[in-house]
Amino acid sequence: MYIKLCEVVFPKHKDDLDVLFTLSKPGKEYFSKNPYQLLTCEKIAGTGMYVDVNLTAREVVELSQKMLHLLGYDDNALSFEVK
């Protein structure tokens, strides 16, 4: 789900993706242009960005919401439904 969200959103914001580097924490990067900077990552199709995929479910939800907020989406732009 997380990779698909990035694949849908990132190509629409190619000029704004550098803002995602502000989401990093000391010793923990979530996004990079260098795949060797991340322990486990996947390239986001259509961009030069890589995303860390070694995350807990909680981290994925929180990071997805923060990522969308930084790219200008409303807080309620993402919702999850469990069936």
Q: Is residue 36 part of a domain?
A: yes
User: 74 to each of 12, 66, 67, how far by Cα in Å?
Assistant: 16, 10, 11
* Average of per-residue pLDDT across 21-32: 89
Q: Is the pTM of this model over 0.75?
A: yes
Q: What is the pLDDT of residues 42-51, one digit of tens each?
A: 999 888 899 9
CATH number of domain containing 41: 1.20.1380.10
Assess whether pLDDT exceeds 80 at residue 34.
yes
Contact status, residue 52 vs residue 67, Cβ threshold 8 Å: no
- Backbone φ/ψ region at 22: left (φ over 0), alpha (ψ -120 to 50), beta: alpha
What's the rounded Cα separation, in Å, for the pair 7 and 27? 25
Domains in the chain, number? 1
Confidence band of 11 (pLDDT split at 50, 70, 90)? confident
Per the structure, the complete domain to which residue 19 belongs is given by 2-77
